[in-house]
Amino acid sequence: MIVCLRVVSWARDFLEEWKIVHCVVNTKSKELDSDLCKWKPSEEGFFKIDSDAATDYKNRLIGFGVIIRDGSGQVKFAAAQNVKAMWSPLVAEAMAVKRGILMALDSGLMPVQVETDSLQLVKLISNGVI
């Protein structure tokens, strides 16, 4: 039960951090622009993998977070994990995406669309580099 509570707490904290980083704040009202902050569903018939990673070089840890939702936004799978490693942020993001894809395969949640906040990783994948 404690692990589940930690995952829920992590997911809430992650969402709040994501909003701060990705959402535009209306300069007059100082409120978040809710149209930009809304989760976008996957295409019909697909599951959506949202993943992220964080690096903690001081403690030599990489943190992964993965959530898989159906097209209506219902959570089908969520996980968070720390790994003892010293990867670059790009490698950590790539490993988070890989972890999400493996979870989807293991859970039979296919086909998938993947979302990551790493533009560099998206470009490398789109260009067939990885």
pLDDT computed for residue 6 by the predictor? 72
Q: What is the CATH number of the domain that holds 94?
A: 3.30.420.10
Alpha helix locations (H) across the chain? 2-22, 34-37, 89-107, 119-126
Roughly how many angstroms between the first and final C-alpha of the chain, as a whole number? 38
56 and 29 housed in the same domain: no
The answer to whether 85 and 73 are in contact (CB under 8 A) is: no
pTM for the whole structure: 0.71
pLDDT in tens, 79-122: 999 999 999 999 999 999 999 999 999 999 999 999 988 889 98
Establish if 123 belongs to a structural domain. no
Q: How many domains does the chain have?
A: 2
Both 26 and 68 in one domain: the answer is no
* Alpha carbon of residue 18 to chain centroid: 9
Mean pLDDT calculated for residue range 18-32: 55
Domain limits for position 34: 1-38
